[in-house]
Amino acid sequence: MTTTTRGEILAARRIVVKVGSASISGPNVGQIEPLVDALAEAHARGAEVILVSSGAIATGMPYLGLDSRPTDLATQQAAAAVGQNLLIYRYQESLRRYRIVAGQVLLTAGDLENPTPRKNAERAMDKLLELRILPIVNENDTVATHEIRFGDNDRLASLVAALVRADLLVLLSDVDALYTRPPHEPGAVRIDHVPYGDPLDGVVVGSVGTGIGTGGATTKVAAARHAAEAGAGVLLSATRDVARAMRGETVGTWFDPRVGAPAAL
């Protein structure tokens, strides 16, 4: 069923949750366990859950002796190779409490642009969900190049939501909602609800990320629009509020989906 309102979140059949690097790495690595708690709660009520998780590069950085995100592609790839292994291990160790098994899915933009690998990815995730495995999706940073990268995992999450015909997309970060202007600026007002097709006239959306990841409010709004066009309800919320968000409580910003959208875009 298409999740058209917050009140229908508890009934969502297929849910994609995206979490940013800054929310689950470095000093915030402890947020993995409450995130997993919320995912397991949805899983226990019968929902099919897919996690799109950034964080491979950020997780690998300390093991390469790096204090800041590398700018050259080769070092990014090396950090991702180390960090992806550790990231999946941390998730699986936390999921073990609920006897949930994770399945790693690494994608490049080309995988979802070309019909054959796109169909393979769709079939693999459908089978994982059928088997009650929790897919954890990330960009394949080790082999991706600047020319073929998604650019940020907000976009990847919206493409995955469309690919698997998700009812709900939850975009998590260290910001609790969309605001009328960057939330640190005077006069910023939280936006509770965005109707489908609303151009958000007068809203000033910032594009600056945390310095750990690559996203920002601009990428989240673009991702929300894409997923809504594909028929998924979208909620922007803070990682710390994930449990409340996935219970349909009034947190974050809700984007109405297009009603009667095609099965996938």
Q: Which segments of the chain are extended strands (E)? A: 14-19, 48-53, 102-107, 134-139, 168-173, 178-179, 190-191, 193-194, 233-238, 253-255
Q: Which amino acid is at 244?
A: R
207 is in an annotated binding site: no
Give CA separation, 72 vs 57, 76, 77, 84, 146, in Å.
12, 6, 9, 18, 10
Angle at 119 between CA 117 and CA 120, to 5 degrees: 60
Is 173 annotated to bind a ligand? Reply is yes
Which residues face 138 on adjacent strands?
A: 106
- Residue 25 labelled as part of a binding site: no
Q: Which two tokens stand for residue 248?
A: 């349909």
Contact status, residue 73 vs residue 131, Cβ threshold 8 Å: no
Residue 18 labelled as part of a binding site: yes
153 is in an annotated binding site: yes
**Cα end-to-end span (Å), the chain:** 17
Q: Letter for the amino acid at 248?
A: G
Annotated binding residues for ATP, written as ranges, equal 18, 173-174
Annotated binding residues, written as ranges, equal 18, 54, 141, 153, 173-174
Annotated binding residues for substrate, written as ranges, equal 54, 141, 153
